[in-house]
Amino acid sequence: MKAVITVIGHDTVGVVAKVSGVCAELNINIEDVTQSILQEMFCMIMLVDLSACSAEPAAVRERFAALGKEMQMQVTVTRQEVFDAMHKI
């Protein structure tokens, strides 16, 4: 199963390392990533593979939400099929 992880917030040191660290902790494979800084706001989108993940989907979402609170950023995890359905015209 694939998912999209988005990270948005004020730019700080170590954001990519922290997010990728949680991915490694949960055995989530990062397949693609894009990031940019938009007027001091850090924006990152990751496409990940959850097929070997060591946690249930709800626990994954909770873990990334907790990371977001820790970093004072918005971190969301959306399954790819949900993401695709939300963005169809």
pTM exceeds 0.85, yes or no: yes
Q: Please report, as a single letter, which amino acid is at residue 16.
A: V
Mean pLDDT of the region 69-82: 90
Q: Give the per-residue pLDDT at 15.
A: 93
Q: Is the four-CA dihedral 10, 7, 23, 71 of positive or negative sign?
A: positive
pLDDT band at 89 (very low <50, low <70, confident <90, very high): low
Return all residues near 1 (Cβ < 8 A) that are at least 6 apart.
Answer: 49, 50, 51, 79, 80
Question: pLDDT for 18-64, tens place per residue?
Answer: 999 999 999 999 999 999 998 889 999 999 999 999 899 899 999 99
| Candidates 1.20.120.1200, 3.90.100.10, 3.20.20.70, 3.30.70.260; CATH matching 2-86 | 3.30.70.260
In sequence order, what E strands does 1-89 have?
2-10, 29-38, 41-49, 74-79
